[in-house]
Amino acid sequence: IPTIAQKNLQSLKDYTASELLDLLHFAIELKKPENKYLPLLEGKVLGMIFEKSSTRTRVSFEAGMLQLGGHAMYLSTRDIQMGRGETVADTARVLSGYLDGIMIRTFHQTTVEELAQASLVPVINGLTDDYHPCQILADLLTIYEHFGTFKGKKLTYIGDGNNVAHSLMIGAAKVGMDCTIAAPAKYFPKAAMVELAQSFAAFSGAKIEITEDPLKAVKESDILYTDVWASMGQEKEALARMQHFAPYQVNEKLAAYANPDYLFMHCLPAHREEEVTTSILEGPHSVVFQQAENRLHAQKALLAALMK
C-alpha cells in the first residue's frame, strides 16, 4: 500500500510525482481479478457528501469501499443538516466521530478545505468547481495502461478550461507529460492554475501550453481530451457557451491532425454532437469506458492509501 504524506486528497498539487506513480502501480495490482476483494479496509466506513449529481463518482466509491471490505454512505446535502446551514466545520467534527474517511463533491474548493481542516479523518475531493483529482488519477491510469509512460507524450484538452482541465494540467505537469489546453480566451483555465502547473512542469520537464487555436494544439497529440461545455452549476450559460465553443468540437476533421494512434478521452457524462461527435466518442480511438472503469481501480488504491 503506497504511503502518502498528505492526510487528504484536496488537489493533485499536494502530491508528489512518486506518490502519484505509486498509486497508479497499486491500482494496477488492485485491478487484477484475483485482487478484486482484498479486505484492506475491513470495517471502515466512508461518508460521501454530494452537493451535485453523480453517477461514476458515487458508484465507483461505493463499490470500491465494499470490495475493500468496508462500507460507504451516500449523504446528499438535500438530506443532511449541512444543506440547511449547519457549518462545514461542525459537520466535519461530527462525522469524524463516526467515519474513517469523507469524500465530498461540492461547488467551492474552500468547502473541501474547511472540511479537511476540521476533520480528524481523511477528506477526498470528489469534484469542485476548481478541481477533479480523482478523475485525473483514473485518466493517468488509463494513459499509463496504453503507453506505459508519460514522458514524451502530449495530451491536448480541447474545450472549457474547467475543473477537469485544471486537474489534468496539474497531473500531467507532475508526471512529466506535455499538456496543451485549447479554449476560447474567455474560457482559458484560471491563470493561477496555469502558473501552478508551469511550476511543476519546470521540475518534471513537461511542457504546458494554452492556446486559442484547436488545430495547432491537436498536432502531434497522443491524447485528445474534452469535457462538457457547461459544467454543473453553469446550466444557465449553456446556450451562450454552445456558440463560443462550436469551433472546439472534437470531430473527425480536428482529430485527423492528431498522431495516428491517439487516444480519445472524456471524463463523462458526454453530450454527443456538442463537445464531441458520436463517431469519435464511439470510434476506435475512444477509451472513455475504460477511463470510467478506472475510476474504481484508482480510487480503491487511493482509499487504501489514505484510510488504512
- Catalytic residue IDs: 105, 132, 135, 227, 267, 295
Strand order in the sheet with 71-76: 71-76, 45-50, 101-105, 123-125
For residue 55, state whether it binds ligand CP (rule: CB under 6 A).
yes
Residues numbered 164 to 193 that lie near ligand NVA (CB under 6 A) are: 164
Residues numbered 8 to 27 that lie near ligand NVA (CB under 6 A) are: none
Q: Return all residues near 284 (Cβ < 8 A) that are at least 6 apart.
A: none
Of 30-38, 48-56, 172-180, 187-195, which part binds ligand CP (CB under 6 A)? Answer: 48-56
CB atoms within 10 A of CB 277: 18
Residue 221 interacts with which of ligand NVA, ligand CP, none, CB < 5 to 8 Å by class:
none
Binding mask 220-239 for ligand NVA (x = CB under 6 A): -------xx--xx-------
For residue 287, state whether it binds ligand CP (rule: CB under 6 A).
no
- What's the burial of 130, exposed, middle or buried (CB within 10 Å: 0-12/13-18/19+)? buried
CA distance 77 to 85: 10
Give the sign of the dihedral formed by CA 192, CA 115, CA 77, CA 58. Answer: positive
> What are the angstrom distances between the C-alpha of 79 and each of 89, 115, 255?
17, 18, 44
Residues numbered 87 to 126 that lie near ligand NVA (CB under 6 A) are: none
Among 30, 46, 168, 267, binds ligand NVA (CB under 6 A): 267
Among 11, 57, 162, 163, binds ligand CP (CB under 6 A): 57
Among 6, 16, 35, 54, binds ligand CP (CB under 6 A): 54
Tell me the three cell numbers of residue 50.
454530494
> Residue ranges of the alpha helices (H) in the chain?
17-31, 56-67, 88-96, 109-118, 133-147, 163-175, 191-204, 214-218, 238-245, 252-255, 278-281, 288-307
Residue 169 has φ and ψ, to the nearest 5°, of: -60, -45
Q: Which is nearer to ligand CP, 209 or 293 (CB)?
A: 293
Of 22-30, 54-62, 114-122, 184-192, which part binds ligand CP (CB under 6 A)? Answer: 54-62
Cell numbers 487504501 correspond to what residue?
304
Binding mask 71-110 for ligand CP (x = CB under 6 A): ----------------------------------------
CA distance 19 to 25: 10
Residues numbered 123 to 162 that lie near ligand NVA (CB under 6 A) are: 127, 162
Q: For ligand CP, how many residues bind (rule: CB under 6 A)?
A: 8
Of 55-63, 155-163, 217-225, 239-247, which part binds ligand CP (CB under 6 A)? Answer: 55-63
Radius of gyration of the chain (CA): 19
Q: Write down the least CB distance from residue 57 to ligand CP, Å.
A: 3
Q: Write down the least CB distance from residue 267 to ligand CP, Å.
A: 4
- The DSSP output letter for 212 is S
Interface ranges with ligand NVA (CB under 6 A): 127, 162-164, 227-228, 231-232, 267
Interface ranges with ligand CP (CB under 6 A): 54-57, 127, 135, 267-268
